[in-house]
Structure 1
């Protein structure tokens, strides 16, 4: 049954591996977005951070028994290796994700949604941004609302697909905005017409989780 999705450490390890691949593939694109309105290093920084995770992933997997420990250590690598705003924000996301589930080797789909929502709340707390500020929060909050409304009995794959759709549309919504946070704020109206790079990387990274969920579904059919 679709509701009986189990998220385990293998799922998280595979997701982090794919996120590392994605950060290499999208490095120049994310950096080009940041070059328009920021420091021009968003893609470079994320690729460095996830490269650090990828390098340590086998060791992390072998030396952690639970999901929370793995995510926390991955987040610490991002915090230590990634410059700019993205390191603290994404580092906080992963470090907070599993905090409610210490020592758990596997969790339910509903628990997984709670983990993601906790990560989003950590990002918002760290960055002090609101919807409309032209940041990754413009993507995360619309997605958060989809996850928050999930009910046991709903189709989890449709639910997560809608989460990604809302995040992507949230990223699209940053294009006409004036930035109220970060380096882009100094540009004023000149930031209009440019997409926030963090909003773009965030939905794309969350889409990795969706692809991993679909792989699990296909393997079990």
Structure 2
């Protein structure tokens, strides 16, 4: 499919809408192992990103500018831990598609993979540490595997979403080794990581917008 800056703007709008719907659930999850504000932060960040992107001249703006604008506005809206992580993700996506006025399936899939790698490098997290990486990294790997077998973007993102859901579910059985949750020991067992849960929301909205 042909992905323009307008397509990306619609995608950010859909993510923002999904975060508004899921805000309370994410705050509830965060209340168990954090300070109960993850849903608020994610809604603020994606709402700011969607508005800033919408304000661009989308007819002339290249996808790189859309991603960079989303990165800057997300970071300005969310100073907390998820701010720099998602800002890095969108900056990496922008760098991956630099100079391309329109993206094809493979371009966006590569941008998606770059997002996950950017989050991992910025957060210095590994699989099994009960963070958003437990959803994002399997999603990127699944997307990459689907892409390598010639799947469409919709199929790549569907595979990514399934992997993210499995990864997020797996965080219930993990102890946390990063952030505030790491001080709670066994009390975090049985609870899904809010960052992994919100990653699933992001990926599901992307898949829906680009299907």
Please, what TM-score do these two structures have when normalized by structure 2? 0.93
Q: Which runs of 5+ in 1 are unaligned?
A: 215-221
1:177 maps to 2:174? yes
Match of 1:202 among 199, 202, 205: 199
**CA distance in 1: counterparts of 2:152 and 2:90, whole angstroms:** 25
1:11 maps to 2:7? yes
Alignment match, 2:154: 157
1:75-119 deviation digits (Å, cap 9, x = unpaired): 111111113211111111112112022231211111111101111
- Relative to structure 1, the CA distance from residue 105 to residue 152 in structure 2 (aligned partners, 3 Å threshold; closer, same or farther) is farther
SS where residue 195 of structure 1 aligns? Answer: coil
Shift of 1:64: 5.7
- On the 8 A contact 1:168/1:203 being kept in 2, the answer is yes
Shift of 1:208: 1.2
**CA distance in 1: counterparts of 2:208 and 2:26, whole angstroms:** 20
- Relative to structure 1, the CA distance from residue 202 to residue 135 in structure 2 (aligned partners, 3 Å threshold; closer, same or farther) is same
- On the 8 A contact 2:11/2:210 being kept in 1, the answer is no
The list of structure 1 runs, each at least 4 consecutive aligned residues, that deviate by more than 3 angstroms after superposition, is 61-64
Please, what TM-score do these two structures have when normalized by structure 1? 0.89
Alignment match, 1:96: 92
Alignment match, 2:29: 33
1:48 maps to 2:68? no
Shift of 1:47: 1.3
Shift of 1:66: 0.3
Shift of 1:162: 1.4
- On the 8 A contact 1:65/1:103 being kept in 2, the answer is no
- On the 8 A contact 2:53/2:69 being kept in 1, the answer is no
Counting matched residue pairs gives 210
- Relative to structure 1, the CA distance from residue 155 to residue 20 in structure 2 (aligned partners, 3 Å threshold; closer, same or farther) is closer
Calculate the aligned-residue CA RMSD, in Å: 1.6
1:211 maps to 2:208? yes
Shift of 1:152: 5.5
Q: Which runs of 5+ in 2 are unaligned?
A: none
Match of 2:183 among 173, 186, 193: 186
Alignment match, 1:166: 163
